[in-house]
Amino acid sequence: MEKKQSGTGTDTDSVTKKVPFLNRIDLSSPDIHQSVSLLKQACLDSGIFYVINHGISEELMEEVFEQNKKFFGLPLSEKMKVLRNEKHRGYTPLFDEILDPDNQVHGDLKEGYYIGVEVPEDDPKAEKTFYGPNVWPSDDILPGWRHTMEKYHLEALEVARAIARIIALALDLEADFFDKPEILGQPLAFLRLLKYPGQISDPSNGLYGAGAHTDYGLITLLATDDVYGLQICKDKYAQPQVWEFIAPLKGAFIVNLGDMLERWSNCLFKSTLHRVLGNGQERYSIAYFVEPSYDCLVECLPTCKSAKNPPKFPPVMYGDYLGQRYKDTHIDLNVYNELQS
Ligand code: OGA
Ligand code: NI
């Protein structure tokens, strides 16, 4: 299928190609060698693949999408009651995030909702950025909403751990490498509900559903409805950039690679540059960002460096990295206080 870019034609920095074929990693397959080989090939080629037979039931997937729609269908005044807080939990209105400030005239045309790992207020961990209690819409307004989201959060983490084992093997590590407490033992995992309104994006005029970006952590598990919108750019350093639509696949996860995997693997597996274009239809998606803990020191893996191939990045503490990325891409919360006063 040939997909034309929605821009006016003045956009010379990018061209859009046909939908690429993506490998499917079947988590129910007993043939681990085949899974490792398919995953490795996908990571080296495009940094994106499908995960099928992941074990999350169709019912739960559908329920999350239903509840997602219900939340974004609430009046703005209701959604503003659970506005994003300084721990990055809750509702992000249209334009709250700007993922590619250099090329966007305003923030992303999308609404979102962040749900993290639940950490009680009195837990010493809650003193750190990103750790704390979640915020929830009232159960009277959205019955069962919290329960659905908490269940999905837990199950998605198990899927992520299963994928991380295959990634570890593909990097010649022990299968449980990423299961360490500071990585996926006690991760910073964010479930993010998203709604793109039915507007048409216009890249040539700097208008996007989500600006071009890479995700920050290890991997992202993305579930989408059947509306096209997600694009990837396989070679992020090429000019002009070539953008390809990623086909939705019902019941599957689209998995892309984050910046920490690029750092751990010394650029063997690069983080996936992607963006979202609105095509005039409303679009719902559910992203699950799989990230190490705040204190995790991310440094080049022993299997990815040599005398000829020294580490390309200095070690980084994940919380510092994430804090900076969020600061660069979200508007200051004080803006909302000023609007409301
Ligand atoms: C994201 C993202 C893609 C989508 O939230 O980081 O890239 O299809 N989402 O919503
Ligand atoms: Ni993303």
Check pocket membership of 276 for ligand 1, CB cut-off 6 A.
yes
Instruction: Provide the residue count of the chain.
Output: 341
CB within 8 A of 284, min separation 6: which ones?
65, 68, 69, 72, 193, 194, 195, 196, 224, 225, 227
User: What CA–CA distance (Å, rounded) separates 190 from 70?
Assistant: 20
pLDDT of 240 higher than 70: yes
**Which has the closest alpha carbon to 187: 311, 289, 51?**
289
Distance 208 CA to ligand 2 centre (A): 13
Residue 99: what pLDDT?
A: 95
285, β-bridge pairs: 194, 224
> Dihedral sign, CA of 228, 144, 112, 94?
positive
Location of structure tokens 């750092």: 263
Residue 341: what pLDDT?
A: 64
CB within 8 A of 340, min separation 6: which ones?
80
Peptide bond into 203 cis (omega under 30): no
Residue 21: what pLDDT?
A: 92
Q: Give 194-235 pLDDT, tens digit per residue.
A: 999 999 999 999 999 999 999 999 999 999 999 999 999 999
Residue 1: what pLDDT?
A: 41
User: What CA–CA distance (Å, rounded) separates 44 from 271?
Assistant: 10
The residue whose CA is least distant from atom 1 of ligand 1 is 287
Query: Can you list the alpha helix ranges (DSSP code H) found in the chain?
Result: 32-45, 58-72, 76-80, 145-170, 259-264, 318-329, 334-340
Query: How far from chain centre, in Å, is Cα 296?
Result: 19
Confidence of residue 9 (pLDDT cuts 50, 70, 90): very low
Q: Which atom of ligand 1 is nearest to the CA of 230?
A: 8
Question: Which residues, by Cβ under 5 Å, contact ligand 2, an ion?
Answer: 215
* Token pair listed for 46: 């495009």
Distance 141 CA to ligand 2 centre (A): 29
Tell me what the mean pLDDT of segment 243-266 comes to.
97
Distance 98 CA to ligand 1 centre (A): 12
**Which has the closest alpha carbon to 326: 195, 217, 234?**
217
User: What CA–CA distance (Å, rounded) separates 148 from 121?
Assistant: 22
Looking at every residue in the chain, the average pLDDT score rounds to 94
User: What CA–CA distance (Å, rounded) separates 153 from 115?
Assistant: 8
The residue whose CA is least distant from atom 8 of ligand 1 is 230
Exposure string for 307-333, b = 16+ CB within 10 A, e = fewer: eeeeeeeeebebbebbbebeeebbeee
Query: How far from chain centre, in Å, is Cα 184?
Result: 16
User: What CA–CA distance (Å, rounded) separates 151 from 214?
Assistant: 27
Residue 337: what pLDDT?
A: 80
